[in-house]
Structure 1
């Protein structure tokens, strides 16, 4: 009776037109039907996965975590209430706008709006087609991808996501940020995806550090690198992570935070054990300074 996946994300962006070009032409997302006050993008058969709202924050606006059914949805909402969180039953017009059967919202310990829902809209009658030829994105039971959030209180945030939403710790990396010192980056799963969420206990100008989308092939990643070099800026070079073994690179979004584009990670299985790492990557992922 927990959440099953990260289902969707909403961002506030000062330049929604730049995001439109970036989502379509750089990342390869498909434009979806507009929301009430947002541009939306598809990665798969779902009606939408990413919403971009006009705003000055240039940060995450909300993250939607999906429960499998009414029982899991109600159980999660009640558990959060019993933990002392103010859980809001959202009105019908917001449910309709999100395209879900039921929806509650709550603010996590870092100040990020978290939406828990069930019954998202599928559009199998309108197949996903990437405008730049991405073969497909890996979603399904693993959901959107992952997000990394900065938190001033790791213990409270862990309690919220583990005891509240029902996620499980995958592993920990002692991440050396150079002048920023070392920070213990904690990774959490709620399905086979190695992590749908990671928490960075470090001061940060934005709530979100980066989000990740996973493509089906290495060629998709290589072509995305070419597009990123053409349209924007690469932040970290192509590399492979120590914990989830994903091959990926990082780019800069129009809002200034990062996006990871990758493929080929390993899954969490029944034999999984929580471990720690001294490095975030086996190789690659080198920082590229802006010129």
Structure 2
């Protein structure tokens, strides 16, 4: 009776036209039908995964997490009620905009709107087709990908996502900060994807540090990297391989300043055999920060 996937994200962005060009021409996402004046994008059979709305925030405005069914949503509501956290039921207009059967929402300890839902709209009659020929993404039952959030109130935020929503710890990366000590990055899973959520215990101008898209084939990462270099979009980190999830990826800066990780080959977590570990560096090789 826990979260099973990151279903969708909503981004409030200043330059909608630049974002549309970035999503379609660089990331290879498929435009989806929009319920309002913004833009929406698909990566699989779900009607939409990424929602762009015009605004000054240039940050994540909401995250939607999926549960399996009505009973699971009811169990989540009871757990939040016992913890003294109020969940607001989604009104019919909101359910129609999101295209889900039932939804509740609240704010996490740092103020991010979090929606929990079941019964998303699928459009299996209209298969995913990338406008630039990308081969598709690892999504479907594993959800959109992952998001990495700043958390200025890490103990409360950990409790919210782990104890109330049911995320499980995958591992920790301890980042050395020299004389300032070290910082523990916490990685959490809710399905076989190594992590759907990561928490970084810092306050920052933006809640969203990056979101990740996982290509089905390695060559699509190479093609995407070529498109980044040809488009002039700022490369944030070079191609590399992570220590914890073993993903081969690069990072590109979005028109809003936070980043997208575009990767392939992440290892999967299986709860019956998985052991939590600690890593002392984020990458085996590569992922060098760009000076641009």
Residues 244 and 84 of structure 1, relative CA distance in 2, 3 Å threshold: same
Residues 180/146 of structure 1: CA separation in 2 closer, same or farther (3 Å cut): farther
- SS of structure 1 residue aligned to 2:158: helix
> Which residues in structure 2 correspond to 1:105-116 (within 5 Å)?
105-116=105-116
Structure 2 residues without counterparts, runs of 5 or longer:
none
State the alpha-carbon separation in 2 of the partners of residues 127 and 283 from structure 1.
Answer: 36
| 1:25-64 matched pairs, under 5 angstroms | 25-64=25-64
- Equivalence for 1:69: 69
Change (3 A) 1:226 1:176: farther
SS in 1 for 2:4: strand
- Structure 1 match to 2:185: 185
Answer whether contact 2:32 2:47 (CA < 8 A) is retained: yes
Gaps in structure 1 of 5+ consecutive residues? none
Alignment-derived partner of residue 196 in structure 1: 196
The 3 A distance-change label for structure 1 pair 127 and 188 is same
- 1:12 match: 12
Number of the residue aligned with 2:239: 238
Change (3 A) 1:264 1:177: farther
Q: Distance in 2 between matches of 1:60 and 1:106?
A: 15
TM-score normalised according to structure 1 size: 0.97
Alignment length (residue pairs):
290
1:275 match: 277
Runs of 4+ in 1 over 4 A off after TM superposition: 177-181
Given that 2:46 and 2:140 are in contact with CA atoms closer than 8 Å, whether structure 1 keeps it comes out as: no
Match of 1:129 in 2: 129
- How far residue 206 of structure 1 moved from its aligned partner, in angstroms, is 0.2
Per-residue CA deviations over 1:26-85 (Å, capped at 9, x if unaligned) read 000000001224210000111000000111000000000000000001111221122122
Look up the match of 1:168: 168
SS in 2 for 1:24: helix
Secondary structure at the aligned position of 1:22 is classed as helix
The answer for the alignment partner of 1:206 in structure 2 is 206
Tell me the secondary structure at the aligned position of residue 3 of structure 1. coil
Q: Given the two structures, how large is their TM-score scaled by the length of structure 2?
A: 0.97
Q: Say which SS state the counterpart of residue 77 (structure 1) adopts.
A: helix
* Structure 1 match to 2:226: 226
**Are 1:99 and 2:96 counterparts?**
no
2:288 is aligned to 286
RMSD of aligned residue pairs (Cα, Å): 1.3
Residue equivalent to 1:248: 249
In structure 1, distance between residues paired with 2:287 and 2:229: 15
Q: Structure 1 residue 176: deviation in Å?
A: 3.8
